[in-house]
Copies of this chain bind each other. A is one copy, B any other.
Amino acid sequence: MRADARENRARVLTVARELFAERGLDVPMAAIARRAGVGVATLYRRFPTKESLVMEAFAEQFAVCQSVIDDALQDPDAWRGLRTVIEKVCLLQACDRGFTAAFTASFPDLHAEARDRTWRNFGALVQRAKDSGHLRADFSPHDLTLVLVANSGLSSLPAEAAVAASQRLVAYLLESFRAGTDALPPPVPLSLDLVLR
C-alpha cells in the first residue's frame, strides 16, 4: 500500500471513531470523508461498506472490552470482579455513543467461540460471587444484559450527562445486587439539571 494511502486510511479511522463517539453510528459517510479531508470514493476503496468501517473503527474498543472482561473474570475476589465488569463496560458505553450500537450489532457475529467462552466465564463468576455471599442468590446472569441495555438508553443524553448518569445508575444497581446491604454506599452525585429542562 502506498504511503499516502496508508496515512489517509489511518486518518479516516481516527475521524470515524471521533464522529461515531460524538454522534452515533448514523453520521453520514460524506461527513466522515469531509472531516478527514478525502473524497467519498477513498472511504469506499478502503472499507467496502459502511458496516465494515464501523467494525474496523470499533475493533480496538472490542479488544479492550474483551480484555477488561477477561481480567475481571479472573479476579479471585468474585464480587469485585463482577462489579468491575459492570462498571467498566457501562463506562465504555456511556463515553461512546456508537459503541453500544456497534456492540449489539456485532455481538451475534463475533465468532461464537469467544462469545460462548465469555458467557460461560461470566456464569462461573456469578456463581462464585454467590458462593462468597456477596451477591444475592436470585441474581441471574441475564441481569448483565439487563444492565447493559438499560445503560445504553442513557446515550440519548448529552455526552457529559451520560457519564454521570451511567455512574449513578450503576451504583444504584450494584447496591441492589449485593447480598448483605449492611451499609448503604451513597450513589455518585448526579448533575442532570439540564436534562428535560
Contact B192 A169 (CB under 8 A): no
A37-45, A66-74, A134-142 - the one binding chain B: A134-142
A9-17, A57-65, A147-155 - the one binding chain B: A147-155
Contact B186 A176 (CB under 8 A): no
Task: Tell me the nearest residue of chain B to A172, going by C-beta.
Answer: B176
Q: How many residues of A contact B (CB 8 A)?
A: 38
With A142-B192, A150-B154, A187-B138 known as contacts, the answer to whether A172 contacts B169 (CB < 8 A) is no
Q: Which of B115, B145, B181, B190 makes the CB contact (< 8 A) with A146?
A: B190
So how many copies of this chain end up in the complex? 2
Contacts of A168 in B (CB 8 A): 143, 146
Task: Tell me the nearest residue of chain B to A195, going by C-beta.
Answer: B145
Q: Which of B115, B136, B172, B186 makes the CB contact (< 8 A) with A184?
A: B136
CA distance A108 to B153 in the complex (A): 19
Question: A residues touching B (Cβ–Cβ < 8 Å)?
Answer: 104, 107-108, 115, 119, 136, 138, 140, 142-143, 145-146, 149-154, 156-157, 165, 168-169, 172-173, 175-177, 181, 184, 186-187, 190, 192-193, 195-197
A–B pairs, 5, beta carbons within 8 Å? A119-B197, A145-B195, A146-B165, A146-B169, A146-B192
